[in-house]
Amino acid sequence: MSRQWVLPEVAAIEAEMIALRRELHARPELGFEEHATSALVAAKLEAWGYRVTRGVGGTGVVGTLARGSGTSLGLRADMDALPIREATGLPYASRNDGIMHACGHDGHTAMLLAAARCLAEKTHWRGTLNLIFQPAEEGLGGALKMIEDGLFQHFPCDRLFAMHNVPGFPAGKIGVHSGAFMASADEVTIRVTGRGGHAAAPHQTIDPVVVGASIVMALQSVVARNVAPHEQAVVSVGALHAGSVSNVIAPHADLHLSVRALSADVRELLERRIRALAEGQAASYGASVEIDYRHGYPVLVNHDEETAIAHRVALDWGGEAMLIDGLRPFMASEDFAYMLERCPGSYLSIGNGDGTQHCSLHHPGYDFNDASLAIGASYWVKLAEYILQ
182 binds Zn ion (CB under 5 A): no
Residue 372: closest CA among 30, 17, 8: 17
Binding window for Zn ion (CB under 5 A); candidates: 101-109, 118-126, 229-237, 375-383: 101-109
Q: Report the distance separating Cα 356 and Cα 341, nearest Å.
A: 36
User: Which residue type does 250 have?
Assistant: A
Q: Is the dihedral of CA 287, 292, 297, 298 positive or negative?
A: positive
| Minimal distance, residue 297 CB to Zn ion, in Å | 11
Binding window for Zn ion (CB under 5 A); candidates: 99-107, 215-223, 279-287, 348-356: 99-107
| Minimal distance, residue 139 CB to Zn ion, in Å | 9
Decide if 236 contacts 258 (C-beta within 8 A).
yes
Residue 386: closest CA among 107, 68, 129, 51: 129
Decide if 250 contacts 242 (C-beta within 8 A).
yes
Q: Report the distance separating Cα 121 and Cα 80, nearest Å.
A: 28
Closer CB to Zn ion, 108 or 273, in the complex? 108
At residue 173's C-alpha, the angle toward residues 137 and 26, to 5°, is 45
Q: Report the distance separating Cα 353 and Cα 372, nearest Å.
A: 8
Which residues are annotated as catalytic?
80, 137
Binding window for Zn ion (CB under 5 A); candidates: 100-108, 168-176, 319-327, 352-360: 100-108
Closer CB to Zn ion, 85 or 122, in the complex? 85
CB atoms within 10 A of CB 224: 10
CB atoms within 10 A of CB 388: 22
| Minimal distance, residue 360 CB to Zn ion, in Å | 10
| Minimal distance, residue 248 CB to Zn ion, in Å | 40
| Minimal distance, residue 383 CB to Zn ion, in Å | 20
> Max alpha carbon distance in the chain (Å)?
83
Closer CB to Zn ion, 360 or 389, in the complex? 360
Half-sphere exposure of 62 (CA within 13 A, CB side): 26
Question: Edge-to-edge strand order for the sheet containing 184-193?
Answer: 233-242, 252-261, 184-193, 288-295
Closer CB to Zn ion, 165 or 378, in the complex? 165
Q: Is the dihedral of CA 110, 55, 163, 71 positive or negative?
A: negative
At residue 347's C-alpha, the angle toward residues 122 and 363, to 5°, is 110
Closer CB to Zn ion, 103 or 313, in the complex? 103
Footprint (CB under 5 A) of Zn ion, residues 103-162: 103
**Contacts with Zn ion: how many residues (CB under 5 A)?**
1
User: Which residue type does 4 have?
Assistant: Q
Q: Report the distance separating Cα 44 and Cα 219, nearest Å.
A: 51
Closer CB to Zn ion, 164 or 382, in the complex? 164
Closer CB to Zn ion, 334 or 370, in the complex? 334
Closer CB to Zn ion, 191 or 363, in the complex? 363
Decide if 32 contacts 56 (C-beta within 8 A).
no
| Minimal distance, residue 361 CB to Zn ion, in Å | 5
| Minimal distance, residue 165 CB to Zn ion, in Å | 8
Q: Which residues contact 346 (CB under 8 A, 6 or more apart)?
A: 161, 176, 178, 302, 303, 306, 307, 309, 310, 340
Site residues for Zn ion per CB under 5 A:
103
